[in-house]
Structure 1
Amino acid sequence: MNLLKKFKKKKKTPTSIARKLVTVTDPKSIISEQFRSIRTNITFSLPEKGLTTILVSSSMPSEGKSTIAANIGVVYAQEGKRVLIVDADMRKPTLHFTFDIFNTQGLSNILAKQISAQDAIQETFMVGLYVLTCGNIPPNPSELLASKQLESFIEEMEQYFDIIIFDAPPLLSVADAQILSNKCDGTILIVDSGKSNKSDAIKAKTALMASKARIVGVVMNNFDLPKNSYYYQYYR
């Protein structure tokens, strides 16, 4: 069945997107190139198996994980992949703001068996890029993520998408990200170079290792690139 016909369409024009999607608004910038480098590193991290499901999380709140997850999804779609970005932060969801879409129903409703994935997933302005918002904020996010329903959801989505990106809550705040990391092929840890401390990053890594997650790598956010560096001069 045609993917575009199976899922609900809610196209948006690029003029309605949030400024956080730099890979769309300024695709030739240094930052956009960095996201393409992240995409390449993810692709070659586990070549023998390949990555379909990717978890993006951080140690603490406000480290930029949701923005990074969204931009990674964009660069994969720009490559021609079919991409689904899932807002798995069922406590403080933000992806619906980033993509300027409704959050009336989403992941929580699917896991609670209130709605089908086909009726909840929304198409974005970009061909091949889809978003599943958080949906109604549930009283038991951790229990929903630990349920068999999530595993069934992932198995179903793998039939339609090349890449599925989960934007999860911070690792040191709640157990949600740990639960999800065990179910995903790879995990990316976001570290804000300007505010994160070393001990929190180590604790986050330890939590991921305890859940037997495959840590693909770490993304340093808000890192100031010296203007006299070769990389800056090359992309200036």
Structure 2
Amino acid sequence: MFKFLKRKKQNSPETRHLITQEDPKSPLAEAYRTIRTSMHYATADDNAKIFMFTSAGPGEGKSTTIANVAVTFAQAGTKTLLIDCDLRKPVQHKIFHISNSKGLTNLLVDKRPLTEVLTLTPNDNLQVLPSGPIPPNPSELLGSRAMQNLLASLKENYDLILIDAPPTIAVTDAPVLAGAVDGIVLILLSKAVKTDLALEAKARLEQANGKIIGAILNGLEMSSQDYSYYYYYGEKES
């Protein structure tokens, strides 16, 4: 079942920021915490640890959303790893103001040790694995045995792993990863994504054995207060 959260329009890529870290008492930060809570209850019985955030198309706010959700989990005491698996247009290093000279691609291609490419954040419970140098073969790397082994190893060392994946429609990267994660959150931008594209993204992920646990609707224009929002969650299938 899809889950929705409605809130003020996303910031542009140039101004995207970690509202959960910069202003944790704001209504928008609270909105991100509702996502954290709902993800917890949606998978409470599954022992799920690895979640992928993707979108139908570009510019729908997936990277900003997953970064802020990662911060909220860390703030709640969950040992969290955020992996930038968008090996085509990575942005997590920009959001967290960290270097992208080394990262995931170095682990997969050069066999660099994890400690050499991980980045710490101000919150001790959150670490970021940036994408690293952009490779010529993103889909092949993400679908490789090395990637599968890496996720299996990381799962033993973290309470939660969040994966920022590329848009689903444009490239095959997200479907390639879909079967390797425990749950998928689909990000949709209001008034930008067409219904048929959203349904196509959902179908592609499910055809790849992905389990969509919910969707977040970004960028709604609110008629009342700027940061007002509401959300609802569907019942899990029995």
Q: TM-score, normalised by structure 1?
A: 0.87
Cα shift readout 1:26-80 (whole Å, capped 9, x = no counterpart) = 2122211111111111111122213210000000000000000100100000100
Q: 2-side partners of 1:85 and 1:199: how far apart?
A: 30
CA distance 1:215–1:19, shift in 2 (3 Å)? closer
Question: What is the aligned counterpart of 2:81 among 64, 75, 84?
Answer: 84
Cα shift readout 1:100-128 (whole Å, capped 9, x = no counterpart) = 00001111111114312221111011121
| Pairing of 1:1-236 with structure 2 (within 5 A) | 20-227=17-224
Stretches (4+) displaced over 4 A:
none
Where do 5+ consecutive residues of structure 2 fail to align?
A: 1-14, 230-238
Q: 2-side partners of 1:58 and 1:228: how far apart?
A: 27
Indicate the structure with greater helix content: 1
Contact kept? 1:85, 1:132, Cα under 8 Å:
yes
Deviation at 1:159, TM superposition (A): 1.8
Deviation at 1:228, TM superposition (A): 6.8
Deviation at 1:95, TM superposition (A): 0.4
Contact kept? 2:49, 2:161, Cα under 8 Å:
yes
Deviation at 1:224, TM superposition (A): 2.6
Supply the RMSD in Å over aligned alpha carbons: 1.5
Deviation at 1:90, TM superposition (A): 0.4
Q: 1-side partners of 2:208 and 2:31: how far apart?
A: 29
Comparing 140-149 and 106-115, the one that deviates more: 106-115
Q: TM-score, normalised by structure 2?
A: 0.86
Greater RCO (CA < 8 Å, at least 6 residues apart): 2
Contact kept? 2:16, 2:64, Cα under 8 Å:
no
